[in-house]
Chain A
Amino acid sequence: MKHLKVMSVMLIIAITTIVMPAKVQAQTGKEIAWKVYDRPSPKDGESDMTMTLINSKGKERVRYLHQFLKEYDEVEKKVMFFKAPADVKNTSFLNYSYDDDRDDDQWLYLPALKKVKRISGGSKDDYFMGSDFTYEDLEKRSPNKDVHKLLKSETLNGEQCYVIESTPKEEGQYSKRVAWVIKDKWIPLKIEFYDEDEELLKVLTIPEFKQLKGYWTVITQNMENVQRSHKTVIKLSNIELEKGLGDEKFTQRAMMKGL
């Protein structure tokens, strides 16, 4: 009887030992995801943006943009002006992204049409301007949409990182993401994106980031489609944060006026 009792206690301990770390890990993975999501960000900012599309043969196509961004209580407003190449010059794109599950509101100004068109915001799986980034890749994703699991800790590019796996609760464009998050900076240094067959589809790497006005800011990011062997490099320059941008920057009037 006593032997049985000892066995029972040992079994409970064993189960607890197995289960509890898993529970802690799950919470920790979620916490890490929230740390990334809640990483302090500036109220507003603007920058030049260079987007280089590189195909499997190494041929490059470069797009130049200028973007303004401003955070409001429940919405993030972003406007982008295309500066080159010539066939898209003076095109502008305005996006309202909401904290809740509402679809984005988006408008596009095409100078040839001379009017601002509202466009469907439900196409976040679309690739942005022919790049390897989808619209969803370029925005903050709420941790509530995924189940997060801490896989391990390891060093990447000299940075101590948590490695977390995030699996969407609802079917999306990726079956899962695996992110290497820098401890105490909460920047994902690398993210692997897996397709619906759970095959590695894309790899995002952050070769350059720095602290500007107290905010950790990603300067350069590379997205490589490993299945199709092409990649996209986005690099920001002339970054200005906390400028006190006015609301007038994020209007259809500003879109039509241009830079």
Chain B
Amino acid sequence: MKLSRVSRGVLASATGVVLFLVYVPLMVVLVNSFSTSQSLSWPPPGFTLEWWAKAFQSQGALEAVGTSVQVGIIATAVALILGTAISFALQRFEFFGRDAVSLLVILPIALPGIITGIALNNFFRTILGVPLSIWTVVIAHATFCVVTVFNNVIARLRRMGTSLEEASADLGAGVWTTFRLITFPQLRSALFAGGLLAFALSFDEIIVTTFTAGVGVTTLPIFILDNMFRPAQAPIVSVIAVVMILVSIVPIWVAQRLAGNEKVVR
């Protein structure tokens, strides 16, 4: 498509503005992690590696990372199993109310976190009488992690159709063999993408976590929020932020490469 010079100029500046707004603040965080100022004042009065050294020794920060990883992995694992099962139920079987169930499954991701948080908090404490702990956080996270897995897997199942599985059965494979040799390999990249997204959602979730975490359960986002405005801790938070930026690039890169490969296979 050919564009006029004016429209090209408009599109270029729009792109520029968006990239500027996203990446300049990130650069500020990066610079701040080396700043000698304890209160993130700008411009930085000087530079130091002190915070980087401190961050990797900070007991609180390390524990928070551990908690977040633990919650993320377990919630993702739960989501992978339940999300796949729900996808099969809704894609491969026809039953009354299927569309309604589908909507109910997707809803948690659209629901405001504060609502989910309050509802689950009430449910756990008042109705079930269960004390809040790390496990209540896992369950709460799983409610929306299931959605990303579900969306990815059901899209794949829809595109895949049933003919590969029929071909496998036709050639003599039982239900389980067909799943192991045909269905699962076809779903693998969808499960990976859905799982990655689920983990990322869980990893930076703060609102629902606030309402469902037991005493002493500090995930990384909660740690950051707690320490953000403590003078001595602010630069450490910057360091954590920079590390998280670097770590988030990896899954995006992997997911993009996977998506690229898919096209070739198809």
A and B interact:
no
**B residues apposed to A, CB below 8 Å:** none
Question: Which A residues are closer than 8 A to B by beta carbons?
Answer: none
